Each structure stands twice: as C-alpha cells, then as structure tokens.
Amino acid sequence: MFTKCIAVELGHKGIRVNSVNPGAVKTDIGRDDTVGQSGVIPWYEKFGKLYPVGRHGVGDDIANAVLYLASNESSFITGSVLVADGGHLAANMSLTHNFVGKVALVTGSSSGIGAATAILFAKSGANVVVTGRNATKVSEVAKQCLNVSPKGLKALEVVADVTRDEDLVRLVDTTVQTFSKIDILVNNVGTDESAPIWSTDYMDIFKKTCKINLDSVVFLTHICVKHLEKTKGNIVNISAVSSTQTLPQYSAYCMSKSALDMFTKCIAVELGHKGIRVNSVNPGAVDTITKDLTHDYDVYNVNIYAKLYPVGRYGVPQDIANTVLYLASNESSFITGTGLVSDGGHLAANVNISQLQ
C-alpha cells in the first residue's frame, strides 16, 4: 500500500515507485547455523516440487525483476507489484506449512472445524481423507480440497459413522489402500447434546456423547498406531475449553472432553518411543455449521463472546484449522502431550459459560 500511495504522490516529480513480491527464494540467511542447515534449505527444495515452474527461486530471479522495474523498459509502470513467485499464488499454496507427500485423515471433516482443517491440509499440499456420515457434504468438501490443492490432488471420500467400529476399520483400510500410509490423524468429530442429570434421556445422551467424543477416538487411534509408527506421524485431538470448565446440562460433553485431554497425555507418553506425537487443541467458542444457530439464545451467545473475549471476536473454523496444522507440522516437533488452547482468551479472561446459557 505504501508503494501505491507514494507512487501517486511522487509521480509529478518524475519518480516511479514499484515493488517486487517474491515467493520462496533460497538465500544465504541461516546457512551457517544448525537450523538453516537442517530446516531452511530442505524447505525451499520442497517448494520447488510444488511450484508450477518446477523449482524454488534464487537471488538472481529477484535481482532480474528489480533491474527490469528500474530500467527504461518499464517507464510506463508505477504503483505496481511484480509477483516473482514461481507460480506460488497462482497455485493457491499455503504460506505457512508444507505437507507435500503427507496423508492426513480428518474425522468429521464434512463440515465445521473438520472441513476447514481438511481444506487447509489440501492447500498445504497433503493428500486428504474427507469423511462424515453425509455423502453430499463429504463430496462438497472434497471438491473444495481439490480446488485449493497446488497439484490438483483429489481427496479421498469415505462415508462412515464413527460410532460403528466396522466403519472405522473400513476408513483406515481404504485410506491405506489408496495412499499406502497415514501420516496425520485428526480426531475431530464430536457432539454436544445437552441434558440435565435428572432428565429421563440423560443416560442415552451420555452414552451417545461418550461413544462419539471418546470411544471413537480411542478405537481409531488404536487401529492407526501401526500405520503412524511407520511414518513417524502424529495425532491431533479436538477437545474444548469445556474440558476444564463446568457447563450446566452439558456434563456428558464436559466429561468426554476432560477424558480426551487425559487420553492425549497418556497416549503421548506411550507412543513417544514409536516416534508418534500426540496433542490436542482446546477451542473456545467457534461459530460452525455443526451448531444449530437458529435459536435466539444461541445467536446471542455467539455474538456476546465477541464482547467478552480479549481478542474481540469469537472463533471461526479456520482459527482451529491453523492450530491443528501447526501441531501436525515439523515446527512443533518438540511438542507432545500438550493441550494447545485456542480460545480467544476465554480461559484467561475467566469467561463463565454458564452465565451465557
């Protein structure tokens, strides 16, 4: 923006102002340190495989662009941006993480946080498995994954019910048959039905909640270990701030998330020697289509979080997807058994959920 504004201001003085926006360019930065030797150079090489031009940038590429903009040949150009990125933006590449060659299985990925996570993995170059109970929604998300994939990778669509063990076995078998491996397992699927303890249907809701939020995670993790061990992969479980805060009429939900947090820690210890990392994300209030916002009190609650949260807004699925990809990336290789709170400051501000009901 500064370039454009100053180009307008300085035009009458005969001064042209332009900018160059490089993609991934290999430079000498970090070459003499350990991080640079082990991390930076391979990173650029991975970009080379993703870029439409088939390579990462080098200093001369950007120098050539600068000299062109400074030459008389560009005398009619001012206030412009010359993108020298090897096709980075055109290929819809993620600027943050690179999961090229990785296989990510995300449960409950036909909507909400799961869909946002699957799409972001696809945008970052991964082969993605989209799964849910609704075939139409699964296909819709798979199409979005295809649209953002730098290499046009087609997502694997698997319609499955996580409450059925046979469906989970089929989900894993189909994934391995298609991609030959699993690198990342995101246990995202969940439900949050409410009922007071005295309700006649409390036990039914309790069993259903635990079956979806906890049992499915435990079983899917159990059958994926042998595959994740081969890839030195990792697991990310989607928990909630309600794992540490009480919420009237949601005891089943709170207990299931609290148990999930402990499961994350226990399994991180057990699987560490196999090279598998296990972490969880604890979101605050996130506006997703999995939550029915047709009731007035629900709309009110979502909006009031924006006033209560230190960040000044409630969460969106992309916020949690960003957190998941960080935990699944090499940048978090020293993190395991952790619950990463992504809550807009919910817990820090002591936001009392029960008062919003």
DSSP 340: E
Beta-ladder partners of 321: none
Residue in 250, 253, 314, 326 annotated catalytic: 253
With a CB cutoff of 8 Å and minimum separation 6, the contacts of 197 are: 251
HSE-CB of 350 using CA atoms within 13 angstroms:
0
The residue type found at 273 is: H
3-state secondary structure of 214: helix
User: 146-152: long-range contacts (C-beta < 8 A, 24 or more apart)?
Assistant: 146/122, 147/92, 148/92, 148/119, 148/122, 148/123, 149/92, 149/122, 149/123, 149/125, 150/50, 150/91, 150/92, 150/93, 150/100, 150/123, 150/125, 151/50, 151/100, 151/125
DSSP 242: G
The helix (H) or strand (E) run that includes residue 114 is: helix 112-123
Is 253 one of the annotated active-site residues of the chain? yes
Length of the chain: 357
Q: Which runs of E-coded beta strand occur in 246-355?
A: 277-283, 339-342
Using alpha carbons, select from 202, 291, 207 the residue that is nearest to residue 256. Answer: 207
Task: Kindly list the catalytic residues.
Answer: 253
